[in-house]
Amino acid sequence: MSQGNRVYIFDTTLRDGEQSPGCSMTVAEKLRMAHKLAELGVDILEAGFPIASDGDFEAVGEVAREFPWIQVAALARANTLDIERAAKSLEKAKRPRIHTFIATSDIHLKYKLKKSRQQVLEEAVSAVQLARRHVEDVEFSAEDATRTDWDYLEDVCRAVVEAGARTVNLPDTVGFSVPAEYGELIGRMVKALGDKAILSVHCHDDLGLAVANSIAAVQAGARQVECTINGIGERAGNCSLEEFVMATRVRQDRLPFTNGIHTEHLYACSQLLSSIITFGPQPNKAIVGENAFAHEAGIHQDGYLKERTTYEIIDPKSVGVPKTKLVLGKHSGRHALKDRLQDLGFDLNKEELDLIYQKFTEMADRKKGVRNDEIADLVRVHVPRAVTVAVK
């Protein structure tokens, strides 16, 4: 498998992201989000964990049906029931992937699985073999790989590839690793597997290092990065898709990797996700935060006005952020509000817009500015019809 410098973007917003607090999505919401992710150009879309709920089962099937050109992945623990359910959800998919996993660290083996290393290795191999009976494209993940004994991990990696896995994912499940160490681990496993499989990484952000670790891994030879929009995911979240992609775009001199992401859709994707789940990115979040392209300090404003690149390393238009930041406050008009509502996915008729405008001006009179989530809340409370339509 010649991999060159092309990095595959595996989006798990609809699975790892969706399973975290405040982020659950209906099937219709997953489809709306999948539409944007397809437009964005992700290579693999993990749409759910079919054994977990009927909704997840349905979502995987529907996403695969709507977007047949994308590889759609379904997650399954390394057991027969999970794998059969994942396979069924992907029955009509054109490019199905079963993503099966089992923990490999001693800490998980002792306390969670109560199994020996040999047992886990055998179960991993059987799971991959079973998945291969259903689909060609099987990914295996060694959960908690970064706290696993490296020699044992190498044995597991070799065995699952022998059993038919095309992608081997080594997750930093608890966000414990640091870049140099993770790069070393990935480099060793890339060497062990050669071109028999693609090495994938999946980093959590417990120490705020998920993006840095993913970059170190790609420099060491990983060619699939698992990530989410706005970095949502279990606990502190996953590697943020927009940050990883923009780091490689902006620093091609140091990170000469390619991917298929159309970056001009990043901001819209982030906004859509924020309107579906219960929170948006923090204002100072890189790339998609409200302040990512705002300048307040006088010296910065002065430099920026003389030459944009003095204080901006990214052209906001390249990630879909409108050049001029429209701050919605008490002086804003109906037109600006209507534009913002449309950006947020709400299509209101004249009477509804008048009502929201009235509520908006009442709120703006009491505050320094009105945020997107507050505007979306006004629609949810006063025009619930528009929310249902937007969700369809």
Contacting positions for ligand KIV (CB under 6 A): 16, 101, 141, 143, 169, 171, 173, 202, 204
Q: Is 11 in the site for Zn ion (CB under 5 A)?
A: no
Which residue's CB is nearer to ligand KIV, number 233 or number 345?
A: 233
Least separation in angstroms between CB 365 and ligand KIV: 46
Least separation in angstroms between CB 241 and ligand KIV: 15
Least separation in angstroms between CB 124 and Zn ion: 17
Which residue's CB is nearer to ligand KIV, number 121 or number 364?
A: 121
Helix, strand, coil % in the chain, rounded to nearest 5: 50, 15, 35
Least separation in angstroms between CB 53 and ligand KIV: 16
What is the residue type of 392? K
Beta bridge partners of 227: 11
Q: Is 16 in the site for Zn ion (CB under 5 A)?
A: yes
User: What distances in angstroms separate CA 86 from CA 54, 120, 296, one per listed residue?
Assistant: 11, 20, 50
The number of residues that bind Zn ion (CB under 5 A) is 1
Which residue's CB is nearer to ligand KIV, number 11 or number 16?
A: 16
Question: Coil, strand or helix: which one is 227?
Answer: strand
141 binds, among Zn ion, ligand KIV, none (CB under 5 to 8 A by kind): ligand KIV
Least separation in angstroms between CB 108 and ligand KIV: 10
**At what angle are helices 150-162 and 179-193 packed, to 10 degrees?**
40
Least separation in angstroms between CB 49 and Zn ion: 11
Contact 226, 42 (CB under 8 A): no
Which residue's CB is nearer to ligand KIV, number 236 or number 286?
A: 236
CA 161 to chain CA centroid, Å, is 25
Contact 39, 73 (CB under 8 A): no
Span of 10-18, 80-88, 302-310, 340-348 interacting with Zn ion by CB under 5 A: 10-18
CA atoms within 13 A on the CB side of 286: 15
Q: Is 139 in the site for Zn ion (CB under 5 A)?
A: no
Which residue's CB is nearer to Zn ion, number 202 or number 223?
A: 202
Which residue's CB is nearer to Zn ion, number 113 or number 314?
A: 113
DSSP string, 249-312: HHTTTT---B----GGGHHHHHHHHHHHSS----TT-TTTSTTTT---SHHHHHHHHH-GGGT-
- Angle at CA of residue 159, ends 158 and 165, nearest 5°: 85
For Zn ion, the binding residues in 302-331 under the rule CB under 5 A are none
Span of 13-21, 36-44, 154-162, 209-217 interacting with Zn ion by CB under 5 A: 13-21
How is residue 207 written in tokens? 């120490």
Span of 16-24, 242-250, 323-331, 358-366 interacting with Zn ion by CB under 5 A: 16-24
Contact 44, 70 (CB under 8 A): yes
Which residue's CB is nearer to ligand KIV, number 64 or number 78?
A: 78
Contact set with Zn ion (CB under 5 A): 16
